[in-house]
Structure 1
C-alpha cells in the first residue's frame, strides 16, 4: 500500500458466525465501512442451539425479539432446563423465573442467515468463501491476503474466527485451553409432530454428560460431551457412544435412538478457552475467538452476540481515538469467563455419577489458565 493511501475499509471482520455478524452489523450501524470475510461460506455444522434469558438484552439491541416470536421456522419457546446430576434426581429450572423471562430453541443456520441479512442491511459487505491466507501491516494499515493474490486493506481487524483465534494468535495473543472437551452432536428431522415449546434436558453419564432438546421445523437435537483422555472409544464410533451415553434418557430415549441412528452426526471440539488478551492495538477478538465457554453453561451463543455487539462498539471507539476502549473490553471478557468457570466448578465437583479420579476430578480442575 502506498504511503498515505487510506485503507480500503474501516474494519475487516474475519468469520461470519453469530459474533462476527453482530460485530459487523454494529460497526456498520455506527457508520463504519466494514467487510466480513468468511472462508466457510457461512455454513455451520450445528443446526440446533438454545438461547437462554441472558441473551434477551443482545437480542433486543439487534432488533430480533419480534422475529423470534413470529417465525416458528426460526425459533420455538424454550420453557425450562431439566437437569439430572444425581441418580433419581431431576431439577427443573423454569426460565420464566429468570431475568428476561424468555428462552428459545433455534435453528442456528436460519438464525445466522437472519444476522447476516441485518448486517448487510446496515451496510456491511459480506464476502462468502473468502479465506484469509496471510496478514501483514500495522494498526491502522492492515493488509489481509485473500484468495488468488487478492488483498483486503483495513484500519481495524475483528477476529471472529472461532476457537482457533487465527488472527489474534498471529498478532501475539496466547490461547489458554486447559482441558480438552469433545462433543458428539446428532440432529434429525422427525416424521411426527414435536411440541410447540421446547425443554432442554441435560444429565450426567458415567464419563461425561448428555443433552437433548426439541428444535424448530419438527426436528430434534442431542449430544454427548466427554473428555477424550477418559473415553478413547468415543471418537472412533461416535454413534454407538452417543447411544450408550443417552441410554437412560427417560422420555427422550426412543427419540434420541431414532435421531442418532438416522440423523447427521458430527464430532467437534467443545473445549473452553481464553485468550490472554482479547484486544490489542488495531484489533479485537469476539465470540469464541476471545473466550469459549464450557457448554454446560448454556451461554455460548448468548455470549457470542453480547461480545460481538460490545466488540463492535469498542472497535468504533478505538477508531475514534479512545485508548481505553480496547483494554476495558478485554478485561470484561476475562471477568465474564472467570465468573462462568467459578459457577461450574461446584457442579462438576458434586456429581455423584462421576467416579472419583474420573470425569468429575478432570473437570472440577478445568479452567486454570497458566
Structure 2
C-alpha cells in the first residue's frame, strides 16, 4: 500500500498542534493531525485570562468556545509575599472576564476546528519514528508522508528528541492535583494562588457547579521524598496554605492526588537534521505555570509556527533560514521568560525551605 502524502504532519492535537493545523488547513494546505489519545484522557482544568478572547476569535472558534459553557472568571486572588490575600479583578479588562474551562472539551473543540478547516485527524496514533528521504518525511507506522513535520507533543517533546533536539531543563516542577465538589458559591468565580513551604498552591473552579481543581506545585524530588502524592501527606501540606484550605471547607474530594509534569524547558533544535521540522507550544518552550497560562502561549506560537511552515512550503530553498529565524524567536521568548519567572519567585521571601532556596539562589534565571 502506498503512503498518503500531505504537506504537513502535526504530531500532537493539544491547543498548539490543533491551532497550527487549523491555520495551515485554512491556508489550503493538506494537513494531517496525529493524536496519541482519543481525547479520553483526564486533564487538569484550565483557567484562561480575558485576552484569550481575541486569539480564539482570530482562530474562528469563539462561538464554539462559548458553546462549551465555560465558567466566567472574574479575577484572581493571591497570597504571595505576605499573609494577606490580594484580589486582582478582571472587571475593567477590555475583554471582560476570563474563563474556567474543561480542558478535555477545549482540546476537542480545537481539534474539531482543525478538521472543519480541512485537516485529517487521526487519533490513537503514537509516532515513534520519522525519517526524511527524497524531499519527504516518512512516518512508516502511519503509512504517510509529509513535506514538513511539526512536533506538538507537549513537554515530552518526543518527536523533537527523536530528531536530535537537546533539552535545556530549568527546573523539575510537578503539579499534584485533586478534584473537589461542593465548593461554596462565593469561591466559584476566581482563581487562587497561594505560596507555602513546600511550593505553591493553585485552585480554580471547573465549569460544573461546585467543582474545583486544586494543585500543589512542588519539585519532583520533594514530592517523592515527602510522599506528597499520598492523600494524607497532600492534605497535611494543604493545611499550610490557609486560604486554600479555607475555600475548600465543606467541599468533598472526588479524586486522589495525581502528579503531572510541569517543568520549564527549552528544546534546542540541532539545526540541519534532514528535512524541515519545528516544535510548537510546550514542545518548543514549556514555562512555569506561575508565569501564566500555557494555552495562551500555545495559541500565539501556533500562529508563528503556521507562518513558518507556510513560508517553507512556498520557498523550500529558504527552509533553513526560515527555521533558524523561528528558533531565534523562541530563544528570545525564553530569554524574556526566565527573568520574569525569577521576579515572581523573588517576590516571596518568607520561606526558608528547599523549594524556595532553589528559586532564590543567584543564577536561578537559568
Partner in structure 2 of residue 8 of structure 1: 5
Q: 1:141, CA displacement in angstroms?
A: 0.7
What is the DSSP-based 3-state SS (H/G/I as helix, E as strand, rest coil) of the residue aligned with 2:128?
strand
Match of 1:25 among 9, 22, 27: 22
Asked if 1 retains the 8 angstrom alpha-carbon contact of 2:231 and 2:256, the reply is: no
Match of 2:292 among 298, 313, 324: 298
Q: Unaligned regions of 5+ residues in structure 1, if any?
A: none
The runs of at least 4 aligned residues of structure 1 exceeding 6 Å deviation read: 257-260
Asked if 1 retains the 8 angstrom alpha-carbon contact of 2:150 and 2:277, the reply is: yes
What is the DSSP-based 3-state SS (H/G/I as helix, E as strand, rest coil) of the residue aligned with 2:155?
coil
1:160 and 1:143 mapped to 2: Cα distance?
17
1:224 lines up with 2:216 in the alignment: yes
What is the DSSP-based 3-state SS (H/G/I as helix, E as strand, rest coil) of the residue aligned with 1:335?
helix
1:320 lines up with 2:309 in the alignment: no
Partner in structure 1 of residue 200 of structure 2: 209
Asked if 2 retains the 8 angstrom alpha-carbon contact of 1:287 and 1:308, the reply is: yes
Q: Unaligned regions of 5+ residues in structure 2, if any?
A: none
Distance 1:100 1:343, change over 3 A: farther
Q: After alignment, is 306-315 or 320-329 more displaced?
A: 320-329
Q: After alignment, is 249-258 or 18-27 more displaced?
A: 249-258
TM-score by length of 2: 0.88
What is the DSSP-based 3-state SS (H/G/I as helix, E as strand, rest coil) of the residue aligned with 2:358?
helix
Distance 1:350 1:92, change over 3 A: same
Partner in structure 2 of residue 115 of structure 1: 110
Partner in structure 2 of residue 242 of structure 1: 234
Asked if 2 retains the 8 angstrom alpha-carbon contact of 1:51 and 1:103, the reply is: yes
Asked if 2 retains the 8 angstrom alpha-carbon contact of 1:7 and 1:155, the reply is: no
Partner in structure 2 of residue 253 of structure 1: 245
Asked if 1 retains the 8 angstrom alpha-carbon contact of 2:44 and 2:177, the reply is: no
Asked if 2 retains the 8 angstrom alpha-carbon contact of 1:242 and 1:260, the reply is: no
TM-score by length of 1: 0.87
Asked if 2 retains the 8 angstrom alpha-carbon contact of 1:37 and 1:127, the reply is: yes
What's the CA shift string for 1:124-156, capped at 9, x where partnerless?
Answer: 11111011121212483111132xxx4221111
2:197 and 2:48 mapped to 1: Cα distance?
27
What is the DSSP-based 3-state SS (H/G/I as helix, E as strand, rest coil) of the residue aligned with 2:153?
coil
Q: After alignment, is 134-143 or 295-304 more displaced?
A: 134-143
Asked if 1 retains the 8 angstrom alpha-carbon contact of 2:187 and 2:247, the reply is: no
1:259 and 1:336 mapped to 2: Cα distance?
40
Q: 1:120, CA displacement in angstroms?
A: 0.6
Q: 1:279, CA displacement in angstroms?
A: 7.8
Match of 1:56 among 53, 58, 68: 53
What's the CA shift string for 1:296-354, capped at 9, x where partnerless?
Answer: 11221111121123212211111111544333322222222222221121221231332
Distance 1:335 1:56, change over 3 A: farther
What's the CA shift string for 1:48-105, capped at 9, x where partnerless?
Answer: 1011134333212112334444542xx1111111111134222222234456444211
2:134 and 2:190 mapped to 1: Cα distance?
46
Partner in structure 1 of residue 303 of structure 2: 309
Q: 1:238, CA displacement in angstroms?
A: 3.3
